[in-house]
Amino acid sequence: MLTTTKSMSERLACKAVGLARSTYRRPPVAQTPADPDAEMRAWLRAYATKHPCHGFRRAWAALRHDERREVNKKKVHRLWREEGLQVRMHSPRKRAGVSSIPPVDADAPNVVWAIDFQFDSTIDGKAIKIASMIDEHTRVSLLHLVERSITSDRLVAELEVVFAGAGGPPKVLRMDNGPELVSQALQQFCDGKVGLSYTPTGAPWNNGYIESFNNRLRKECLNRNHWNNQSVRGPGGHRQLQTRAQSPPAASGPETGESRCVTAQ
């Protein structure tokens, strides 16, 4: 370290730390033919090549149970690290959306609409995706799109239809950081038309109204029915998903609410 950072000579650096030059120049045992662990290192390299997804713990278990060797787990870990066999798990960083407007309270209709996705599957095991959107003030369901896959372009097309049917866009769209919701297509569509408010990652309670709606949809409809291809995609391209979602507005007090039939077309 002194020779590289301080540009000191080897003789002066060894004298400063009290180390013999012969000791400094002596290579580690692991780098010499006399390495007592050479055979085990070779076995670990062969094991890592055969099982690239296994870590040192499974290699140690294989040594004990398959090879019948009594070896310390910490030694296997040390040799595993020295050979560079560590399995690194790289999880892609989730992209976070940038809000174009500060958080807004839904104190009137058409102020804040909340949108979210959830998944289910048909009886053949294939996934279906459900997009839901409600008005946070009135709790009215505005969008119910059911497809095998929903791209950002498809979502933008559906939002155009909903905006036209409601007489215009709301003031704010509240959503999480899903890939379709942070897409450039949606941001360009909403630019200058409606504000975007993204909830923090890992905080679904900040979008509680649509989460509550999805929970009710899950309990009262999705978990109580089995879906086949015809029920998801019927004749003429219609998709129908019916449920009784009782969501009374907060201002209505103890009212039982209104039962709604959610039909995706």
Record the tokens describing residue 107, joined without a space. Answer: 């104190």
pLDDT at site 92 = 66
Secondary structure (3-state) at 203: coil
Backbone dihedral region for residue 125 (phi beyond 0: left; psi -120 to 50: alpha; all else: beta)? left
Predicted pLDDT at 201:
79
Helical (H) or strand (E) element with 128 = strand 127-135
* pLDDT for the residue numbered 161: 93
How far are the Cα atoms of 36, 116, 151, 196 from residue 157, in angstroms, in the given order? Answer: 68, 16, 10, 17
Show the CA angle centred on residue 34, arms to residues 33 and 40, nearest 5°.
Answer: 85
pLDDT at 145: 86
Residues β-bridged to residue 166:
none
Q: Say how far apart CA 164 and CA 168 lie, in whole Å.
A: 6
**Could you tell me the pTM of the whole model?**
0.56
Q: Six-digit token pair at 19?
A: 């180390």
Which has the closest alpha carbon to 51: 37, 39, 66? 66
Percent residues over pLDDT 90 in the chain: 31
Q: Could you tell me the mean pLDDT of each successive run of 10 residues in the chain, 265 residues long?
A: 79 86 77 81 93 91 91 93 81 71 87 92 87 92 88 92 91 89 89 89 83 89 78 44 42 40 37
Query: What is the Cα–Cα distance from 138 to 107, expressed in whole angstroms?
Result: 10
Q: Write out the H or E segment, with its range, that includes residue 174.
A: strand 172-175
Output the CA–CA distances (angstroms, integers) from residue 140 to 105, 131, 264, in the order listed.
16, 14, 15
Residue bearing tokens 């709790």:
139
Residue 116 confidence (pLDDT) = 92
Tokens of 176: 């999480």
Q: Would you give the distance in Å from CA 45 to the centre of its chain?
A: 33
pLDDT given at position 237: 34
Read out DSSP for 209-245? Answer: HHHHHHHHHHHHTGGG----HHHHS-GGG------B-
Return d(Cα 40, Cα 52) in angstroms, integer.
17
pLDDT attached to residue 254? 41
